[in-house]
Amino acid sequence: MAILMRWLLLYPVAIFICLEVAFRILGYAPFTNDDYSIQSTPKNAFVGDSLLGIQLHPGTYTIQVNKGLSFQTQHLDNHSRHVSGRQQTPTDVLLLGCSFTYGFGVNDDQTFASLLQQAFPEMGIQNAGVIGYGSVQSLMQLKSALETEHLKVVLLHFSSFHFMRNTLSQQYRSNLKIGYHRSSQDVDNLMTQARFPFISRCSEPITYEPWASLYANWPCRDWLATVNAIQTTVDLVTENPAKQRTVTACILQQMHDLCHQKGVAFGVVCLDATAETAQLKQSLNDVPWLDVHFDFNNKTLTNQPYDSHPNPAGHQRIAQAIEPFLAGLLHEN
């Protein structure tokens, strides 16, 4: 009996040790966080929000990224970013999107929103881009803006990684929760009230996931390669690219239809064209579409080595691509 109990205890342990050694031989390792630091002066430039997940906190900030890149920004009372050169005019053009639209890493006057304002000085351009946003948040922002503004054009700036954001996939939950934890020690305090919106299926309403339950590493993932490999694999296997494309197409089509009902021109600016974005483009009915073909690996156009967001030259490249597209939509309106 003692021998049997010994085997019942030792055999699983021996198997697990063998698996751990095998995974490490194959190149797997325990989970580790790469350093990524965001510091704002004053604090709390970005705060948690119960409807949109994240929101810009009004104020003027200096933000430092990875202790080497610094930029200045002003967040307005309507939770949008300041657009340099805009006069006290109503909002004619609404720019929606994520951190690329926001202009993370460059000063207010260097964002492509401000560059477009210079190109269209008679228009009032609003930069409503926010870090971490997907198309779901943009849809929610659009609904609010259509009720309060007399818009002429709405531009949704889309990127290929918005697919997973729109359904809040496991892989994106991991990127979001762990990524924000990497950026600041105050994240949990700032995100206490945060809930992240997503859509599971086209026929279903927007659902919210609280920050606290967004994602968690399995026990021992930080020091066992076996656990890290299995959880990473599970996250990847649960990805459903087909569903992500279908949901995203429904969101973009709804945004187009809402604008059409109000007599507002709507267009999609796709920053990084991929096979998936090409399929999305084909699935949309009569939605004006611009492929910018921006290369986020191009060191001359991005803030590398600090991060991969567009630098001032990158924003100029994007603005130059958008100018004729926006002019055409304004002409049609």
Strand 195-198 and strand 153-158: the pairing is unpaired
Q: What pLDDT, on a 0 to 100 scale, did the predictor assign at position 176? A: 85
**Interior angle at CA 90, CA 127 and CA 260, nearest 5:** 75
Q: Roughly what angle, to the nearest 10 degrees, separates helices 312-332 and 112-119?
A: 50
Residue with tokens 């309060």: 148
Burial profile 17-34: b = 16 or more Cβ within 10 angstroms, e = fewer: eeebeebeeeebebbeee
Amino acid at position 242, single letter: A
Q: Please tell me what DSSP assigns to residue 70.
A: E
CA distances 286 to 5, 19, 136, 267, 293, Å, are 70, 53, 20, 10, 21
Query: Using CA atoms, how far apart are residues 207 and 198, in angstroms rounded to an integer?
Result: 5
Query: Using CA atoms, how far apart are residues 57 and 71, in angstroms rounded to an integer?
Result: 16
Domain regions of the chain by residue span: 38-332
CA distances 203 to 206, 208, 245, Å, are 10, 16, 14
CA distances 28 to 23, 218, 234, Å, are 5, 16, 15
Q: Please tell me what DSSP assigns to residue 278.
A: H
Burial profile 146-159: b = 16 or more Cβ within 10 angstroms, e = fewer: beebebbbbbbbbb
Query: Using CA atoms, how far apart are residues 49 and 21, in angstroms rounded to an integer?
Result: 44
Q: What pLDDT, on a 0 to 100 scale, did the predictor assign at position 5? A: 57
Q: What pLDDT, on a 0 to 100 scale, did the predictor assign at position 184? A: 62
Q: How many alpha carbons fall within 13 Å on the CB side of residue 244? A: 21
What phi and psi values does residue 281 have, to the nearest 5 degrees? -60, -45
Q: Roughly what angle, to the nearest 10 degrees, separates helices 241-261 and 135-148?
A: 10
Which CATH code is given to the segment(s) 38-332?
3.40.50.1110
- Intervals of the chain under pLDDT 70: 1-11, 13, 16, 34-35, 181-186, 333
Residues 237-248 pLDDT 10s? 899 999 999 999
Q: What pLDDT, on a 0 to 100 scale, did the predictor assign at position 182? A: 65
Q: What pLDDT, on a 0 to 100 scale, did the predictor assign at position 18? A: 78
Q: What pLDDT, on a 0 to 100 scale, did the predictor assign at position 11? A: 64
Query: Using CA atoms, how far apart are residues 297 and 331, in angstroms rounded to an integer?
Result: 34
